[in-house]
Amino acid sequence: MTTAHTTAPVLPQSSSRLSDFAFKWIACAAALAILALIALVGTELYKGAHLAVARFGIGFLASSKWNPVTEEYGALPFIFGTLVSSLIALLIAVPLGVATALFLTDLAPSGLRTPIMTVIEMLAAVPSVIFGLWGVFLLIPWLRDHLFVWLKDTLGFLPLFQGPIFGPSMLAGGIIVAIMILPIVTTISYEILRSVPGLQREAAYALGATRWEVTRIAVLSYARRGLFGAAILGLGRALGETMAVTMVIGNRPVISASLFAPGYTLASVVANEFTEATTDMYLSALFELGLVLLAVTILVNAAAQLMIRSMGGNMKVQ
Amino acid sequence: MKKLLFSALCSLALAGAAQAQMLINGAGATFPYPIYSKWFNEYAKVDPSVRFNYQSIGSGGGQKQILAQTVDFGASDGPMTDASLAKAPGKILHIPTVAGADVVSYNIAGSPTLRLDGPTVANIFLGKITKWNDPAIAGQNPGVTLPDQEIVVVHRSDGSGTTYIFTDYLSSVSAEWKSSVGKATSVSWPAGFGAKGNEGVAGQIKQSPGSIGYVELAYAVQNKLPYADIKNSSGNYITPSLESVTLALAAAVIPDDFRFSMVNPSGERAYPISGCTWLLVYEQQKDAAKGQKLVEFLKWAYNDGEKMASDLNYAPLPDSVRLRVLDRVATIKF
């Protein structure tokens, strides 16, 4: 801490020096505590997983078997399920969220903004299990009888939309997660778009741009980085989503090209099988899946941060 | 102000001292949770000096906790293996309490009561029989119009004693099931998709036309799902009920350590897909006072508690088994 030297220096009182000191150290301790917590989670997961790591090695990540009876375990179908369902969720939620945010900032009458934002934030307050229940009893029958049939009829030439339709499926899981990450993507996009300076828009209008061109040139490209950050936050939530997903995704550890086939995610399998895992190797394999989930989350976030940095060439201060 | 605080603290301490009850902890299977809760409730009226605390964390959890001695008794829907028992610091007794039935439930138009035999059920769950109007099913159900519909198999996604009983049965009626899948609380299912808990499977069956799955009898009854009559080893098609399960219990071969399987027993009217749930207690109790209270509770459970089982849709032990269990309970040392 540097002290400013003026002609008549005024020394701080001892009580405010103490509060400065305390503030510095408490803030420091809080930051260190969070780092320590993450390190603790990682080491505990590793300790629990070491049996499986020793037995299966790196092949664990490439194996598709999950057989508790013969004690053969592999993480590949779960990694596939987690990444695919999160990707589907992003593809649905990000355009929807950004479009909603654009509507609220540019097109909506100002009186509508608060009610709509309140409703979207309430969506975030609904517990995961309730979404799952709604998914099982309302979404899946509708998907099975209407949307999936339509997709199969119109887009059935793609391997994505072939195969038998059960109802619980990877696509259903992706849709549920999209609904759950929609609030976070929308609210953050809204804040980002609101922070675009009015000068940018006015400059574009002055050059003769149409409304859409203003949005595209002045607003969206200015806010690109922030919107990408919003998508990453949504992805982070999507990767960890457990209860709602496990109720609609079908819980079958298979890798299939079809979106109508059931799938399984890392978080779901741990939630489902942890309490009844009787043998040490089984438990250890589940711990290792937890470790893999942590690693996947960290890798995805790191990759996203790199992409954001590389996009930042012509960016101004956020 | 200080006097008020002091008197409040005093009264709190006295109240705490007056409620010095003994607390006995248990953990394990979810299947018998309703009947155990009822027993603990009723027993508190018989002996108010002891309170039982049971956490239904699953059979696997129950076995782990009793091995680690963090609880006073465990509960499991599947018996512990020799390997697990060898790891225990003392001898663990398996004490059977009640039994239940796994029913094969389905959703087809008209909700007929189907008759199925073991190999047919195994082939359906293996994914070899894929249509409802397959000759194997139609042959056993001459009067029923079966739709030309895909069979959608629903199984459990979480590990469970219900799965253990069902796969135990399938292993005993189908050599292919036994070699390719096996029996356990959680298996690698050849076909179908998984739902969480008995409630999840019942919900999926209700929602999906053409689906078939296995649930505890109580769930099928509560959700008004149709269920099949299964052919037992005597050649009769038996409707699952408390009576047919009790008959299965009576006919089962029960060895001395009470670790038995009661699927496919020999009785004439016995239902083939049933299973028992056990309490796991150490023969030599660590804490003498707790041990004594635990034994008194067990004696009460087998003399009076068993009568409450059928109200909650559990099959009580037949007298022959019950008396053997009481003899075993008497050997618990504390």
Could A247 and B196 be called an inter-chain contact, meaning their C-beta atoms sit closer than 8 Å? yes
Mode of pairing for the β-strands spanning B73-76 and B115-116: unpaired
Cβ-Cβ contacts under 8 Å for B230 (sequence gap 6 or more): B104, B116, B117, B118, B121, B237, B238, B240, B271, B272, B273
Q: Which residues of A touch B159 (CB under 8 A)?
A: 68, 272-273, 275-278
Q: What distance in Å separates residue A203's CA from the closest CA in chain B? A: 56
What is the Cα Rg of chain B in Å? 23
Q: DSSP per residue over B32-88, as a string?
A: THHHHHHHHHHHHHH-TTEEEEEE---HHHHHHHHHHT-SSEEEESSPPPHHHHHTS
**Tokens for A175?**
């849709």
Q: Which residue reads 């038995």 in tokens? A: B260
Please tell me the predicted confidence (pLDDT) of residue A312. 63
Please tell me the predicted confidence (pLDDT) of residue A168. 93
Could B59 and A278 be called an inter-chain contact, meaning their C-beta atoms sit closer than 8 Å? yes
Q: Rounded to an integer, what distance in angstroms lies between the CA atom of residue B57 and that of residue B160?
A: 11
Could A70 and B182 be called an inter-chain contact, meaning their C-beta atoms sit closer than 8 Å? yes
Question: For residue A137, what is the nearest residue in chain B, using CA coordinates?
Answer: B207
A281 touches B: beta carbon within 8 Å: no
Contact B65, B37 (CB under 8 A): no
**Tokens for A43?**
């080491």
Cα angle, residue B169 at apex, residues B163 and B170 outer, rounded to 5°: 90
Please tell me the predicted confidence (pLDDT) of residue A315. 45
Q: What distance in Å separates residue A131's CA from the closest CA in chain B? A: 14
**Which backbone phi and psi does A298 adopt, to 5 degrees?**
-65, -45
Cα angle, residue B104 at apex, residues B249 and A145 outer, rounded to 5°: 160
The rounded mean pLDDT for chain B is 89
Q: Which residues of B touch A164 (CB under 8 A)?
A: 150
Please tell me the predicted confidence (pLDDT) of residue A121. 87
Please tell me the predicted confidence (pLDDT) of residue A318. 43
Q: Which of B182, B185, B195 sits opposite A276 (nearest CB)?
A: B185
Q: Which residue reads 């609030």 in tokens? A: A183
Residues with pLDDT less than 50, chain A? 1, 313-318
Across the range B21-43, mean pLDDT stands at 89
B178 touches A: beta carbon within 8 Å: no
Q: Which residues of A touch B212 (CB under 8 A)?
A: none
Cβ-Cβ contacts under 8 Å for A316 (sequence gap 6 or more): A222
Give the pLDDT confidence of B264-289 residue by residue, as tens digits: 888 889 999 998 999 999 999 888 99
Cβ-Cβ contacts under 8 Å for B20 (sequence gap 6 or more): none
Residue B243: exposure state from Cβ atoms within 10 A (0-12, 13-18, ≥19)? middle
| For chain B, percent of residues with pLDDT exceeding 90 | 56
A140 touches B: beta carbon within 8 Å: yes
pLDDT of B15 over the 70 cut: no
B185 touches A: beta carbon within 8 Å: yes
Q: Which of A65, A144, A168 sits opposite B193 (nearest CB)?
A: A168
Cβ-Cβ contacts under 8 Å for A61 (sequence gap 6 or more): A74, A75, A76, A79, A292
Q: Rounded to an integer, what distance in angstroms lies between the CA atom of residue A83 and that of residue A87?
A: 6
Q: Rounded to an integer, what distance in angstroms lies between the CA atom of residue B40 and that of residue B32?
A: 12
Give the pLDDT confidence of B142-164 residue by residue, as tens digits: 989 999 999 999 999 887 888 88
Could B181 and A69 be called an inter-chain contact, meaning their C-beta atoms sit closer than 8 Å? yes
Q: Which of A69, A268, A275 sits opposite B188 (nearest CB)?
A: A69
Q: Rounded to an integer, what distance in angstroms lies between the CA atom of residue A204 and that of residue A120?
A: 30
Q: Rounded to an integer, what distance in angstroms lies between the CA atom of residue B265 and that of residue B273?
A: 9
Please tell me the predicted confidence (pLDDT) of residue A10. 66
Q: Rounded to an integer, what distance in angstroms lies between the CA atom of residue A172 and that of residue A174?
A: 5
Q: All domains of chain B, ordered by start, with CATH?
A: 22-98+275-329 (3.40.190.10), 101-274 (3.40.190.10)
Beta bridge partners of B154: B193, B213
Among A69, A137, A278, which would you mutate to test the B interface (most chain B Cβ atoms within 10 Å of its Cβ)? A278
Give the pLDDT confidence of B75-112 residue by residue, as tens digits: 988 888 888 899 899 999 999 999 988 999 999 999 99
Mode of pairing for the β-strands spanning B50-55 and B22-28: parallel
Reported ipTM: 0.78
